[in-house]
Amino acid sequence: MPRWNPRLALLCLFACSSLAAAAPLAPPDAGIDGLMQRYDGQVPGASVLVLKDGQPAFRRSYGLAVVEDGTAVTPASNFRLASVSKQFTAAAILLLAEDGKLGIDDPLKKWLPSLPAVADTMTLRQLLSHTSGLLDYEELMDPADTRQVHDADVLQLLQKENRTYFTPGSDYRYSNSGYALLALVVGKASGSDFASFLRQRIFLPLGMSNTYAHQDGVDEVPNRAYGYSQIDGRWQRSDQSSTSAVLGDGGIYSSIDDLAKWDAALYDERLLKASSLQLAFSPATKTSEPDVPFYGFGWRINGDALWHSGESIGFRNVIVRYPKQKLTVIVLSNRNEPEPYALAIDIARRWLDAAR
């Protein structure tokens, strides 16, 4: 029986209020509908949500979630978030730090002692901020082996490699490997598994009841949007790859309606303390990536904007938040192109420019 937590007791009230506010669909908007034209019709589609001052200013869906049977995308359609998932992995680590179950500066090998000597100085903070130097697990996979790998398989691949890209803590390199290992740390520190911890400590308390760290054969994703790629001029299903079962770096499925509740929780202490949110949203390291001067914990930082994209086979997504302006734009799509970051910025400008 989980212990009573008065802070979490209020979450259903917040979540239900958020859902009620998000219920109406926005009327057609010629500007945004024009930007979304390629997603409309009998093609893989997208969902768009604009939140302003905590309320949905625009909420519409386009195209098809399942091309084969013509199932339309709706605001409840669940897309594979890909690397947008990393903010939830980081939040899980921060929750466990608040619980006193781990420390952000814990040595990684305290939790995963099977890693080789090259990981002796690595810390959880370095994994969160992509400064560990860990090898990319996809480069270590056997191309002839088409089985799906899981977070535990990432550990098995890395524990055989006593080398890194650079001395831990000395540089930045975006690392899916680091976030896969963080999922294993969440499991070890919580005494649960990563997917169950997210569901019990984040998704259900926030009312995100249709959000899952998806595992084939363990759970079913409701209202699932399947991924597609354009091949020889035709949209063909390309929903899963050999890395799609790795959860910590990109395995969460969610909808714009559930993500509205997540966004609301990032403005107050209903889930994480203010000090933890500050850690997530503060520059932890400089990067050389376009539009990413700094990286926090699971968030890219560009001036007033906090954002993250997610790209995996058949899916392209982005969330862009402007906390000072209380503005958020979310675009989820079930197709392999284009990346929607520039699209989200164009949508955001409609509100940012109006405020000037």
- Interatomic CA distance for residues 328 and 56, integer angstroms: 9
How far is 291 from 303, CA to CA, in rounded Å?
Answer: 9
* CA–CA gap between residue 201 and residue 3 (Å, rounded): 12
In Å, what is the CA distance from 10 to each residue of 16, 164, 196, 272? 10, 45, 21, 13
What's the pLDDT score for residue 26? Answer: 64
Q: Please give the Cα distance from 199 to 188 (Å, whole number).
A: 16
At the fourth CATH level, the homologous superfamily of domain 6-355 is DD-peptidase/beta-lactamase superfamily (3.40.710.10)
Spatial separation of the C-alpha atoms in residues 135 and 32, rounded to whole Å: 40
- d(CA 268, CA 252) in angstroms, rounded, equals 23
Nearest to 26 by CA among 53, 57, 72: 57
pLDDT reported for residue 24: 59
Segment (H or E) for 235: strand 234-237
Is residue 344 within 8 A of residue 309, CB to CB? The reply is: no
CA–CA distance, 209 with 205 (Å, rounded to integer):
9
Rounded to whole angstroms, the Cα distance separating 197 from 192 reads 6
Residue 298, Ramachandran bin (φ over 0: left; ψ between -120 and 50: alpha; else beta): left
Half-sphere exposure of 81 (CA within 13 A, CB side): 27
In sequence order, which ranges of 23-73 are alpha helices (DSSP H)? 30-35
Tell me the C-alpha distance between 298 and 249, whole Å: 10
* Residue in 168, 203, 195, 185 with CA at minimum distance from that of residue 103: 185
pLDDT of residue 8: 44
pLDDT in tens, the chain (356 residues): 343 444 444 444 444 444 444 445 666 788 999 999 999 999 999 999 999 999 999 999 999 999 999 999 999 999 999 999 999 999 999 999 999 999 999 999 999 999 999 999 999 999 999 999 999 999 999 998 989 999 999 999 999 999 999 999 999 999 999 999 999 999 999 999 999 999 999 999 999 999 999 988 888 999 999 999 999 999 999 999 999 999 999 999 999 999 999 999 999 999 999 999 999 999 999 999 999 999 999 999 999 999 999 999 999 999 999 999 999 999 999 999 999 999 999 999 999 988 77
pTM: 0.92
Domain boundaries, the chain: 6-355
DSSP for 130-180, written as a single string: T-S-PPPHHHHS-TT--SPP-HHHHHHHHTT----SSSTTSS----HHHHH
Give the pLDDT confidence score for residue 354 in this predicted structure.
84
Dist. CA 74–CA 63, nearest whole Å = 9
Residues with Cβ within 8 Å of residue 25, at least 6 apart in sequence: 59, 60, 75
